[in-house]
Structure 1
Amino acid sequence: MEKQNMNMNKDVEDASTFNSHEDTNFTQDKNFVKEKEVIDLTNEFTAEQKPRITLGCERRRNYKIQSRKKDDNNSRRTSIRKYGCPFRFKGKKLTANKIATSEKRRLREKVHASSSCLDAFPKGLQPYIKLVKNVIGDGNCGFRAIADLIGIIDEDGWTKVRKDLLNEIESHLEHYRELYGVHGRIDELIHALSFFDVRAPRERWMTMPDMGHIIASCYNVVLFHLSKNQSLTFLPLRSMPLPLLSRKHIAIGFVNGDHYVKVYLSQDHPVPPIAGNWCRHHLPIANGWESEYLSKIQQFNEIVGSTSATREIIEIDCE
């Protein structure tokens, strides 16, 4: 072993003065190793994706590959150690399945800011929508959108959102019974949330506006729910107001009558009216959450008008 280390050190020392009759392209005064390619770190990477860095050596012909050790725990060693090249690389094998999964997620996150997508929102609001991002449409799309927007980066983060919202209801059961009022509505919401498989049937989908109060209160966020038919703002029911710059604002959109997406708004966007049940049922400690948005709510009413419902319960004239 000691002899091998001595040889390795000698290889490293000799690498800078390499000159061989088998490869006349390298001389003492040339740097023969350089970085070949470093993948650009762009916004295309999601939080769980890691950029790959590729290094290359300018020496030609075949390179000697080190044998893999049995105790390497699914890792691999490669080497470009011909004539004492000092570089050794170690990395985990990237399987085709992992590549496919990574690519699928990147495609799911593709921006959908086309005119057809923007048409799903009130016309007056469209200039303030910077971009819209899609999520998997498997019946859990609403929970997937919320998970991404609040920073849960795990692929199954939607299950955590379901569990969090269930815990929020069960921890404040009497408050939500008073808020919803309708007999049996709490049981319906618990039933809808208590589902943790893919391909959720319609009765297990996120339902708005009812779940808006639960989401805002559970995560202490300001939630904007946007669609052509109904747009509302949901505020936390039981927490002290935070300074405006410390608040987390998130927005989801309901499109095509059956799908939720993530919506990113410009900084100067108007704000939909506050959900009526918040005004009637928030605790006194939550007074003041709404005051920061009054002028922007007026702006929303002026540019959107009556094209989008701004109440939780829509009354229909049957005459």
Structure 2
Amino acid sequence: MDSPAQVLLIERFKSVIPSCAQPFISDIKDLSPNRNCGFRAITEGLGVHPKYWGEVMRGLMNEMDTNEAWWRAMFNREDPHLYDTVGSKLDWFNTVRPAPETRWFYVPPPPHGYLVAQAYGCVLVNIHGNDTEAYFPLRLGLDMISNPPVICIANWGGNHWINIKLEGDFPMSSPDCNWERKPQREALEWKTHSEQRLSEFKHISQA
């Protein structure tokens, strides 16, 4: 049974979660709003103590550096300076103190979302209001990952991020409209794997 404190926390943040996903809530983590909360929310979703948020930033930076040509071409199709902008935001993992606003997690998070999904072999779900955005890996086949995690985060109050744990096959919207022209062929199976959730969300949205 949920503790009274946990019940109150869920009730407090329920308004940012689509009604169709609310029955699947098992826990919500309101991580310290210390300007690193977006990365802390993702760290929590990976099953790692949030204090290691800097290591997650390091992982995303390593992914960008290792496959620079690929990410630079992808990001810079949207904005000729986007790759360098994202890199400068992530190059903060050696600094313990709270990051300045220029280093915060993106709102919304397409660049960071794709990096998280690719670097950690997961699905990142950004929940906002009555909608969700899913970010799948772009260059990683599903057959290379056993039990891939689904990490759910939500923005609260403009610059504060929380981690939401949803159990079961909760409805989930499709990735952004550009996703299918970006991934390598083997990554397309991530969407196929989530087809039930995507179809259910689409059905609910059109009802």
Pairwise same-fold verdict (TM > 0.5): yes
Whether 2:141 is the aligned partner of 1:240: answer: yes
Q: TM (normalized to structure 1)?
A: 0.57
Which of 155, 161, 164 pairs up with 1:263?
164
For the residues of structure 2 that align with 1:218 and 1:111, how far apart are their CA atoms?
A: 34
Q: Secondary structure at the match of 2:143?
A: coil
Residue matched to 1:21: none
Cα deviation, 1:209-255, whole Å, max 9, x if unaligned, reads 22100000001111111111752111111112138972222211112
Preserved CA contact (<8 Å) 2:133 2:175: yes
Q: TM (normalized to structure 2)?
A: 0.84
Cα deviation, 1:9-37, whole Å, max 9, x if unaligned, reads xxxxxxxxxxxxxxxxxxxxxxxxxxxxx
Whether 2:115 is the aligned partner of 1:205: answer: no
Q: Secondary structure at the match of 2:142?
A: coil
Which of 197, 203, 206 pairs up with 1:302?
203
The aligned runs of 1:164-313 (5 Å cut-off) are 164-180=59-75, 181=77, 182-195=79-92, 196-207=95-106, 208-228=109-129, 231-242=132-143, 246-304=147-205
Q: Secondary structure at the match of 1:263?
A: strand
For the residues of structure 1 that align with 2:158 and 2:131, how far apart are their CA atoms?
A: 11
Q: Which runs of 5+ in 2 are unaligned?
A: none
Q: Which runs of 5+ in 1 are unaligned?
A: 1-42, 45-106, 307-319
For the residues of structure 1 that align with 2:110 and 2:171, how far apart are their CA atoms?
A: 19
Name the % identity.
25
TM-superposed CA distance for 1:287, in Å, is 2.9
TM-superposed CA distance for 1:111, in Å, is 7.0
The letter for the 2-side match of 1:226 is I
The letter for the 2-side match of 1:184 is H
For the residues of structure 2 that align with 1:270 and 1:287, how far apart are their CA atoms?
A: 19
Preserved CA contact (<8 Å) 1:221 1:235: yes
Whether 2:26 is the aligned partner of 1:130: answer: yes
1:194 and 1:245, CA in 2 relative to 1: closer, same or farther beyond 3 A?
A: closer
The letter for the 1-side match of 2:24 is Y
Preserved CA contact (<8 Å) 2:38 2:160: yes
Runs of 4+ in 1 over 4 A off after TM superposition: none
Q: Secondary structure at the match of 1:282?
A: coil
1:200 and 1:276, CA in 2 relative to 1: closer, same or farther beyond 3 A?
A: same
Which of 52, 67, 70 pairs up with 1:157?
52
1:156 and 1:187, CA in 2 relative to 1: closer, same or farther beyond 3 A?
A: same
For the residues of structure 1 that align with 2:90 and 2:7, how far apart are their CA atoms?
A: 27
The letter for the 2-side match of 1:145 is A
TM-superposed CA distance for 1:256, in Å, is 1.7
For the pair shown, the structure with the greater C-alpha radius of gyration is 1
For the residues of structure 1 that align with 2:21 and 2:199, how far apart are their CA atoms?
A: 13
For the residues of structure 2 that align with 1:223 and 1:268, how far apart are their CA atoms?
A: 14
Residue matched to 1:140: 36
Q: Between Structure 1 and Structure 2, how many residues are aligned? A: 200
